[in-house]
Amino acid sequence: MVKSGKPAEGLGINTFLTHCGNDPYEYHGFVNPPVIRGSTVLFKDAATMATENQKYTYGTHGTPTTTALCEAINQLEGSEGTILVSSGLAAVTVPLLAFLEKGDHILFVDTIYFPTRRFANTMLKRLGIEVEYYPPHIGADIAKLIRPNTRIIFTESPGSNTFEIQDIPAIVKAAHAQDVIVMMDNTWATPLYFKALDYGVDITIHAGTKYPSGHSDVLFGMVSSTEKYWKQLYDSYSALGMCVNSDDAYLILRGLRSMGLRLNHHQQSALTVARWLEQQPQVARVLHPALESHPDHELWKRDFKGASGVFSFVLAQGGTTEAHKLLDTIQLFGLGYSWGGYESLAVHVQLGDRTVSANDYEGPVIRLQIGLEDTQDLINDLQQGLAAIS
């Protein structure tokens, strides 16, 4: 927001988030950009129309509101360009469609967000793409799975629901040695806690639905690319007719302003709850990479600047009956999908789709999203839930 619309290097993250994106002096000094709704954009004369020599040409190609958000994200990510799509899932599928061709081979981490797997196993296979899964701890050994036709290595760290940390620099090194693209679903950490492009990732994916929105009222996705892949990403996006409305883009930009503060609260509160859960006799283990007890803690500490508010815990015994009893007893945790909003959520996680990663948990796995409530209230609530299954 600063006069140039581009905050200087070296500022603290909350200062950065306050000032990134739009330049208020382009809009008469109003602090926020206007919400421009529109399909048609008029050209001032036939020659301009013929050459399309103006910044905006048609609503699908962007508006001043979407530009403000794209600029904010590029500044945050250090990316060449960002596309905006209608959901986090679309932020996964669009870059895959942009770079894959019939006969290509793609490697997905086995702990991937389930709808990404569904897209791979249905659409990608139907398009003649070879889909293979690899275990999350593979690291440099990914080189052994790279084939002459491997086009993309798809990463997600931590893994969905079970929170394994991947060695992204090792994977990037092996991939780039053979000109393979590395994509990362970085929704959990956001660029605040893991700056994926700085670690060599080529294309980074975010469900804006989660922390950028922060209020469970928008579905949104962002994909950011390095210079090398930007043109192909953007051209495919345009060809697919993907776009977002300015109202949603505005809400995401608004969410970014407070994301650092919210994430900090999510982080502190989730860690406190996780540490408390570790002490409970009904809990076998807590799957949270910022806990010293987590097997990937050192890797997390090496690469990540923080942890967000989603993690899981494993009950020491029991099955679906105990998991449901716990979920039905707690009152402050809503039973619902998604995360990143201001409210706490809980879900009994199903892991049956995995093919090459360990799945030997002592009991049911419960995922928690820790919201902005007071931490002690959440602990008291969970205590009731655990007491109900004792």
Give me the residues that bind ligand PLP (CB under 6 A), please.
87-89, 113, 156, 160, 185, 187, 207, 209, 219, 221, 338
Cα(109)–Cα(33) distance, integer angstroms = 39
Using an 8 Å Cβ cutoff, are 321 and 131 in contact?
Answer: no
Q: How far is the CB of 248 from ligand PLP (least distance, A)?
A: 11
Quick one: 160 or 225, whose CB is closer to ligand PLP? 160
Quick one: 1 or 98, whose CB is closer to ligand PLP? 98
Cα(190)–Cα(205) distance, integer angstroms = 9
Quick one: 138 or 207, whose CB is closer to ligand PLP? 207
Q: How far is the CB of 312 from ligand PLP (least distance, A)?
A: 12
Quick one: 1 or 89, whose CB is closer to ligand PLP? 89
Q: Which amino acid, one-letter code, is at 24?
A: P
CB-neighbour burial class of residue 259 (10 A; exposed 0-12, middle 13-18, buried 19+): buried
> Looking at the chain, how many residues does it have?
390
Sign, Cα dihedral of 28, 33, 34, 40 = positive
Quick one: 154 or 234, whose CB is closer to ligand PLP? 154
Q: How far is the CB of 143 from ligand PLP (least distance, A)?
A: 25
Cα(332)–Cα(378) distance, integer angstroms = 7
Residue with tokens 């770079």: 99
Q: How far is the CB of 118 from ligand PLP (least distance, A)?
A: 12
Q: How far is the CB of 88 from ligand PLP (least distance, A)?
A: 2
Q: How far is the CB of 207 from ligand PLP (least distance, A)?
A: 3
- In the complex, residue closest to ligand PLP by CB: 88
Quick one: 109 or 326, whose CB is closer to ligand PLP? 109
Cα(32)–Cα(21) distance, integer angstroms = 10
